Amino acid sequence: MGFIISIFIGILAGFIAEKVMKSNGGLWTNLFVGVLGGILGGWVVSLLGLTAIGDGFLDRLVVSACGAILLLAIWRYFKGTRPA
């Protein structure tokens, strides 16, 4: 059950990042960006020592979405593209 919830959070986080960054991608792109964003977000949270972040659905969604936004921003920086 945790795997399915992680997939759902990844898709939602990717969708949120897509809308914030004015990007366009499909379901698989959102899933990929959301899951990688969750990994990146979790890494940043641990580096910052934020221990108040829990394992709840909303906590994981916020961390994953922030990580996905950061991932898209890094991608755009290195690729040199601007939003449409």
Residue 52 has pLDDT above 90, yes or no: no
What DSSP state is assigned to residue 21?
T
- Domain assignment present for 84: no
pLDDT of residue 27: 85
Query: How many domains does the structure of the chain reveal?
Result: 1
- Domain assignment present for 31: yes
Domain residue limits at 69: 2-79
CB atoms within 10 A of CB 76: 14
Instruction: Please provide residue 31's backbone torsions phi and psi, each rounded to the nearest 5 degrees.
Output: -65, -45
Instruction: Summarize the confidence of residues 9-33 as an average pLDDT.
Output: 89
Q: pTM for this one?
A: 0.85
DSSP class per residue in 37-73: HHHHHHHHHHHHT-TT--SSHHHHHHHHHHHHHHHHH
- Domain assignment present for 16: yes
Name the band, by pLDDT with cuts 50, 70 and 90, for residue 84: low
Locus of tokens 């991932």: 71
